[in-house]
Chains A and B, each alone.
Chain A
Amino acid sequence: MSITAYDRVKTARDIRRPTAANYIRSMFLDFIELHGDRSYADDRAIMGGIARIGDMPVTVIGIEKGQNTKDRILHSFGAPNPEGYRKALRLMKQAEKFHRPVVCFVDTSGAYCGIGAEERGQGQAIAENLMEMMTLKTPVISLVIGEGGSGGALALSVANKVWMMENAIYSVISPEGCASILWKDADRAAEAADVLKLTAQDSLYNGIIDEVISEENLGTEAFYFALRDKIEMTLRELSAMTMEELLDQRYEHFRKIGRPLV
């Protein structure tokens, strides 16, 4: 018993954990990666493209941290730049046009923090995704697979269904950042992790997410098989809704959070 919140933080960040690329390549058929935001660059921290789940064409987008140290540098450790969010939005708009559902895999310590990111409008890029995702006329599922780091994670998580892996975390600030603000001591991150209520179990309890996905057999064929089935079934359910129901359901998912009980 008693897995602490900080144990989850460490597990969520573990380099051996499956990344978005593993999920995408293990669950979807004929994945074709599509690159670039058509305006500035291709951000390797976000991978996206088209694929099939069973017979159903889908757009898949994932924040990719990279598989090893060298790969991680290439992918900016999964910290997207504005062009990454703009690529994601381009692919989501494309999905809307062709009536494909969207599946997002979220795994980032946060949006890239740098001079270039600010010059190219990191805040604006995230804001635009939040706005546009809310009314995207196609079903959207987002799954936080590792770290759900603040606005940089939310920018791919305005979805009809938001799920988290059992050991994933989702937080407004890193526990280290919180500890240094609160106690001027980043070493008290474990305590901060506790008070931030950043685990999947807390997020479910607080009504922020819809479901916690078991990590039993994580990364095995059986694991991906079961998860793929679940995604496919959920997409079919969402596709059966009218467009108005679908968009109202997504709006209400976020609208209710922090609405006072009167």
Chain B
Amino acid sequence: MGIMKFLRPKNELESGGRSSLPEQQAPSEPDITCPNCHKTILISKLRASYGTCTCGHHFRMSARNRLSFMADEGSFTELFTDVKNTDPLEFPGYKGKLEATQRSSKEAEGVICGTAEINKYKCCLFIMEPAFMMGSMGTVVGEKITRLFEYATEHRLPVVGFTVSGGARMQEGLFSLMQMAKTSGAVKRHSDAGLLYVTVLTDPTTGGVTASFAMEGDIILAEPGATVGFAGARVIEQTTRKSLPKGFQTAEFMLEHGFVDAIVARPSQKKVIAAILRMHKEGK
């Protein structure tokens, strides 16, 4: 999780204009080892390459940092920040965990939503936050995404969404499960209005998010090597007592089985998404 710190936005502009908390102290080790090729990469280099290693490995990335290179500078207006988390079941330890996660991730919840321009094409944008309980979907995530689709339907805007999620948030019980139906309903209404929805599946996209809005895009992109699946690999292994095939539940596996349209490396994503938006532009 240490990389999340290094990949935080450098300044306020990059964070989309939101006043950010005091900058982290420069890390004592200015480099990191790639878990794939085991080479050492300088943090500064990693920033310049959008958090990807020369070997192609994509490091996980904070939502704000992703936003900083995905949206045109100064174009992002964050929406629905007033949706606050609750503890609907008074689940043991949840309140404390939420507060600790807010402190460590410097985010209020697991997704940021807003309007943005991508190479001048206006859209609604959501980006999930891996550092916030691994992007798990509780009522706040569900509510914000639902509101974003309702807003996009009302304003006739396309939606671009980056998913990262361990699934539904257990601590909110059925309230979180129901967010799968709620978000899907809003996606369907947006779709029925003839509007475009592009999803980008990033590492990991699993569980209830896979089984709802992640898989509901008109066009589904994925980052190389991302884990994408429904049931957890370990659970499958334990239940079936079979060894899993090589590359099981990766973006490449999903592409091969027909569930992803294309795998797009992070440095090319903005260009590809802008091209898609351009081809679906309303009117002329």
Contact = CB atoms under 8 A, between A and B. Distances in A.
A157 B182 CA distance: 12
B231 A255 contact: no
Interface residues of A, number: 49
A258 B182 contact: yes
Given A258-B178, A258-B179, A134 B185 contact: yes
Interface string A147-182: 000110011011000000000001111000010011
A254 interface: yes
A241 to B, nearest CB: 17
Interface in A190-208: 195-198, 203, 206, 208
A143 B29 CA distance: 58
Contacts of A259: 143
Interface stretch (B9-17, B52-60, B238-246): B238-246
A151 B180 contact: yes
A257 interface: yes
B240 to A, nearest CB: 5
Contacts of A150: 168, 177, 208
Interface string B237-260: 001101011001100010001110
A88 to B, nearest CB: 14
Given A111-B230, A130-B181, A196 B173 contact: yes
Contacts of B100: none
Contacts of B179: 257-258
B214 A123 contact: yes
Nearest to B243: A115
A206 B174 contact: yes
Contact of A118 (B139, B216, B230): B230
Contacts of B79: none
Contacts, number: 174
B231 to A, nearest CB: 4
A88 B258 CA distance: 21
A44 B83 CA distance: 43
Interface in B150-189: 168-170, 172-182, 184-189
B174 A255 contact: no
A128 B170 CA distance: 22
Nearest to B147: A259
- Of the listed residues B191, B231, B236, B258, the one surrounded by the most CB atoms of chain A closer than 10 A to its CB is B231
A258 B142 contact: yes
Contacts of A197: 89, 173-174
A121 B257 contact: yes
Contact of A171 (B173, B181, B229): B173
A198 B173 contact: yes
Contact of A113 (B239, B257, B259): B239
- Of the listed residues A127, A158, A206, the one surrounded by the most CB atoms of chain B closer than 10 A to its CB is A127
Interface in A220-246: none
A135 interface: yes
A157 B211 CA distance: 14
B173 A115 contact: no
B210 interface: yes
30 contacts: A113-B236, A114-B240, A115-B244, A118-B231, A121-B258, A123-B210, A123-B229, A124-B210, A126-B230, A127-B214, A151-B180, A151-B207, A157-B181, A170-B174, A171-B174, A171-B177, A172-B168, A172-B176, A196-B89, A197-B174, A203-B174, A251-B185, A251-B189, A255-B185, A258-B139, A258-B172, A258-B176, A258-B178, A259-B143, A260-B143
Interface of A: 111, 113-115, 117-124, 126-128, 130-132, 134-135, 150-151, 154-155, 157-158, 170-173, 178, 181-182, 195-198, 203, 206, 208, 250-251, 254-255, 257-260, 262
Interface of B: 82-84, 86, 88-89, 91-93, 138-140, 142-143, 146, 168-170, 172-182, 184-189, 191-192, 207-208, 210-216, 229-231, 235-236, 239-240, 242, 244-245, 248-249, 253, 257-259
